[in-house]
Chains A and B, each alone.
Chain A
Amino acid sequence: MLQTNYFPWNYNDPFADMRRLQGAMNRLFDGGRSSERSGAYPSVNVWVGQDSVVMSAELPGLTDQDIELSVKDTMMSIRGTYPEPETGDDIRWHRRERPAGSFLRSIELPFRIDPDHIDARFENGVLTVEMQRPEDDKPKHIKIKSS
């Protein structure tokens, strides 16, 4: 008997389509050398010093106007929107691999940050933020008296 299958995928599995979508999403986010582990964007590198922390992220194509930084206690957030790709009737696209759209990423830092002593720079598509630990948060050395 001829049977017509109305579902192009296996209709015994109601989640097949969902999984396919998830697979596509994973491929989308895992394609690059960055965000390979978490899927969070942008990928960041963090360094710590004595009483300061440096964070860097690659955001090519943005300008310092497109990036918004905010800090609250130990949490730092980067928000940004990529400029719209060029549009026009005479444009024929061949490849579109560069990131687009907007993002928001929050990063937990190893200690509290003094919001008045933040040095943020954006150079050659790389954002570098240097943050200081507030004075009252620094570890205190305690003298031990011997009897």
Chain B
Amino acid sequence: MAQELTPQAAGTVVRSKGETEPATLTFTPAVDIFEKGDTTVILADMPGVASDGVDVTLERRVLTLRGTVKPHAPEGYRRLSSEYREGDYLRVFTLSDEINQAKINAEFRNGVLRLELPHAAEAKPKKISVKAA
């Protein structure tokens, strides 16, 4: 299963940068995580992100999900009401299972990232022989 590195409630603002320029917000995407057989499946909501704006990295056991949003505001219009804000997405997990990196499947559709992380075949117990002095 996946453990969150810095536990954060979904939807909270992680950070905002830029004091003078329009601030870019970073949100924690809402996720569903389940295990199906030998595969851990992670679904992350990143609305407003195009498929080329999604970045997934797995370094050792640290899985980083990142989404860069292309802010859109219709030109020549004035904002009447604003109930949600746009921003980038970032969430980091530590995986407790060894993942078969060659078989990771990532798919991005309708603003949802779907990651399939197949567990590596059970590592064979390594026998360490102890030499007698």
Q: State whether A31 and B80 are in contact (beta carbons under 8 Å apart), knowing that A63-B110, A124-B49 are contacts in the complex.
A: no
Q: Flag if A91 contacts B34 (CB, 8 Å).
A: yes
Q: Flag if A94 contacts B2 (CB, 8 Å).
A: yes
Q: Least Cβ distance of A61 to chain B in Å?
A: 5
What's the tally of chain B residues with a CB closer than 8 Å to chain A? 41
Q: Which residues of A contact B83 (CB under 8 A)?
A: 34-35, 37-38, 43-45
Q: State whether A49 and B77 are in contact (beta carbons under 8 Å apart), knowing that A93-B34, A94-B34 are contacts in the complex.
A: yes
Tell me whether B88 is interfacial, beta carbon within 8 Å.
no
Q: Flag if B84 contacts A61 (CB, 8 Å).
A: no
Q: Flag if A95 contacts B31 (CB, 8 Å).
A: yes
- Quick one: CB contact mask for A94-108 with B, threshold 8 Å, 1 for yes? 111111000000000
Known: A46-B82, A98-B32. 11 other contacts (CB 8 A): A33-B12, A33-B84, A44-B84, A45-B84, A49-B74, A59-B47, A61-B45, A90-B37, A95-B2, A98-B30, A124-B48
Spell out B's residues near A (CB within 8 Å): 1-2, 9-13, 27, 30-37, 41, 43, 45-51, 72-74, 76-85, 110-112
Could you give 17 example pairs across A and B, Cβ below 8 Å? A33-B27, A46-B79, A46-B81, A49-B76, A49-B77, A52-B77, A53-B80, A54-B77, A59-B111, A61-B45, A61-B112, A86-B34, A94-B33, A97-B32, A98-B30, A110-B80, A124-B110
